[in-house]
A and B are shown apart, each in its own frame.
Chain A
Amino acid sequence: EAGVAQSPRYKIIEKRQSVAFWCNPISGHATLYWYQQILGQGPKLLIQFQNNGVVDDSQLPKDRFSAERLKGVDSTLKIQPAKLEDSAVYLCASSLVPSSPNLSYEQYFGPGTRLTVT
């Protein structure tokens, strides 16, 4: 079974430039997550989609970050304009939708995109 695909794997940009990341989740996974992981920290959830709807984007810096999942499959995360503090690994994950409100399913992560802002 194919895993979560992300591209690019690495990106170096200058501050104030724009950048976009792409994610293709595991087939059949309706829930898709974007995380930011700064070196030495745990992943921080930026946005969570269920199909093409946003479930949680409370920690997404909406003045510069945007994300979409138009057809409920692939997703893109954009940063415009980038700041030095955006340097991090951006992880995409996907999971099945729980059959019960009390359940959560395993999240499968892609390899991440390592972003360096200079």
Chain B
Amino acid sequence: RKEVEQDPGPFNVPEGATVAFNCTYSNSASQSFFWYRQDCRKEPKLLMSVYSSGNEDGRFTAQLNRASQYISLLIRDSKLSDSATYLCVVNDTGGFKTIFGAGTRLFVKA
């Protein structure tokens, strides 16, 4: 089993749609969780951290389920500019081991 697993997609959705991605992790001791966004041929950039209580930033909502060892990202009212690869990132205590998922590709179409 991979340490961090994501559905590679691609997810093809129309503008305005709601789309959700899940990411599972194998190490129950993992402490920190993030979603990064990576545009084609660009470097990854932080989209949002994932807190135990769940957190929301505009159209984006992230949640953590420690019991089932997964995190999720919900995008509401999708925009064309949301088209990208979304990378799930899991860190062990103190960030001493950083593991990226393979990413989920999203295409938002007009």
Measured CB to CB, the residues of A under 8 A from B are 31, 33, 35, 40-45, 48, 55-56, 91, 95, 98, 101-107, 109-112
Contact = CB atoms under 8 A, between A and B. Distances in A.
Given A43-B44, A109-B45, A112-B43, A103 B94 contact: yes
Interface of B: 4, 31-32, 34, 42-46, 49, 87, 91, 93-103
Q: Which 3 residue pairs across A and B have the least CB separation, nearest first?
A: A104-B95, A104-B32, A42-B100
10 contacts: A40-B102, A42-B87, A42-B101, A43-B44, A91-B44, A103-B31, A104-B31, A104-B95, A106-B34, A107-B44
A41 to B, nearest CB: 5
Name A's interface SS: loop
Contact of A42 (B43, B91, B93, B103): B103
Nearest to A6: B43
B99 to A, nearest CB: 7
A10 B87 CA distance: 24
A91 B96 contact: no
A95 B46 CA distance: 12
Given A91-B43, A101-B93, A102-B93, A107 B102 contact: no
Contact of A110 (B43, B93, B100): B43
Contacts of A104: 31-32, 34, 91, 94-95, 98
